[in-house]
Structure 1
Amino acid sequence: MTNSNVSVGPMDHCNTTDPLTYQVLSWLMVGEFVFGLPLNVSVLYIFLFRFKFWKTNSVFLFNIVVADFLLMVCLPAKAYNYQHGLRRSQDKTQCQVMLFMLFINRGASIAFLTTLSIDRYFNVVHLGKRNCVKFFRKSPLISLLIWLLLLPLTIPTMVEGFECCNSHGRTDASHNVTDTFRELVFFTQILIPFVILLYCTVCIVHRLRKKTVGDKTKLRRAVFLVTSVVIVFSVCFLPCTLARAVLLAIRLLNMQEVETLVAQVYDSLMVLSYIDCLLDPLLYCFCCSGFRDAYVEAFCPAALLRRMPSLDNSTRTTTTNSVGRIVNVPLVQK
């Protein structure tokens, strides 16, 4: 009789209220994992063995890929919970570890993305001036420092027990200190980088459009690239942030019936945010010509061979060797 009263009392915040919705969300995460894992693994392979990121000033790019990969490997566990009618794991340790992994890896991805945007801002808008980020990107120690700085922001997810990893507004004031800190981290790690990213992008686009010298096609491509980064960031992260704010407000007002619906919307938008792990390699890695050539050479040599005949005339130049004989030297290095 007691169990029956509990089940019809306050909403069970761990169990899903609409199994069909969460079944669909679980398969979406499976799809993100199936497509994202080989993509991120192949990109990591190129960075480590073909592109040699430590020699090409691509340390920030490499860290973005590492963070996306670690976030990607968490998706099967979340999909498993959704398929079994659970919004979060009911096992306290597993729930906290999952939340820790999601927080730190998504935070790292956003942090390195923001740092990369600042670097591009200085390279385009303040070209020729001293760029401290340009110096930092050559040092792996800076990347390590960013990871270490994220730890104190993420550790609170591990130190307090809370209802289904999601208790803000339901517990007493002593627990709310940790919960409030966790919520502040959630919002600031998205909103502050978005403001920085938006400012850098506006300045970069304005500067590029003022250029009168250079290939117009390349300038348009550069404008499209920096603009698409803001669009992807906005689509992936801002909707779930807004939904989270609405969910907290409704929870504090103790509107349980509405909370059920808003929680479904929030979970759906969080699943959408994981698609960032698929888009980051496309936006950053494949827009780098050196990385793109290394990737094509490693995984699509046939496509490279088809390109070579059409590039023979444009990629070769004549020079004179040591004995005065004219030879052709390819400008594209393999």
Structure 2
Amino acid sequence: MKQVTQNFRLLGEQVLDIEKKAIEGLYQYLDDNFDAACQTLFNCKGRVIVTGMGKSGHIGGKIAATLASTGTPAFFVHPGEASHGDLGMVAAQDVVIAISNSGETAEVLNIIPVIKRLGVPLISMTGKPGSTLARLADTHVCIAVEQEACPLGLAPTASTTATLVMGDAMAVALLNARGFTADDFALSHPGGSLGKRLLLRLHDVMHTGERVPVIPADAIISDALLEMSRKGLGMTAIVDENQRLAGIFTDGDLRRILDNRIDVHKTPIAEVMTRSCITANEDMLAAEALKLMQDRKINGLIITNDDGQPCGAMNMHDLLQAGVL
């Protein structure tokens, strides 16, 4: 294998320095045009269509995805395909964001007359405020950089980074303006662990009805062991005559009484149960329940209703199966 003498780390640092400078240079473009662009997007009654060619198109796809996942309905349209029918996706209530570092990309400019004819607001993002695209747009957001990280000055690098960051700035500004919440975010991310952490509540994962381990307060320890064995959750709730939670008995409690040689066939459960037990409400987020259990170093939870009666039960294994853990 040929030995390479280049200092890759130094070259990497140079790229990061250039791109960092490009991002810092964006502060000057957070101006009235940026405000106007955000206001136009905020007022949009339809969808935001993002378009761009080549590397600008790749960045445009990411910007559209970020907007869509943060409360601003958006999608990407390839400008080449737009000229062959995809412009039919654009409606009068929409807004178009056109991205081109040079502002002279032919495929993008070719679709501008149709956008203008539809009366759709056009926001351009270019590195050339005097370019054709910038002049044709209703609002121009500048993304100019001093230099590309590519030493040849050919491959879009710092300019695409700047475009992506400016797109993120718009998306997050809109997110805050709309009062977009974590629950809203979860609705557009139902799949995977993120959606599960944000959407699942205890009523979605807990055991209910006959699957909840419960014994009366006048039972003995052996009754508790049988109930724990039948329900398989490593615990059982103990209830009083009004079916309200009086305490809990767990595998940990069992180990302690065995160490103390307590007779499980004669001793009332009320003498050994844990009275001040940790409970939860069925509307609690599963992620919150996970944190509660981890903080208190417990493996299970009894879920109670407003009257203090057990209505559900769950343990760490249930959270694991649901994908929360």
The TM tier, using the shorter chain, reads under 0.3
Structure (1 or 2) with the greater strand fraction:
2
**Greater gyration radius:** 2
Structure (1 or 2) with the greater helix fraction:
1
**TM-score of the superposed pair, with normalisation by structure 1:** 0.23
Q: Whose RCO is larger (CA < 8 A, sep 6+)? A: 1
**TM-score of the superposed pair, with normalisation by structure 2:** 0.23
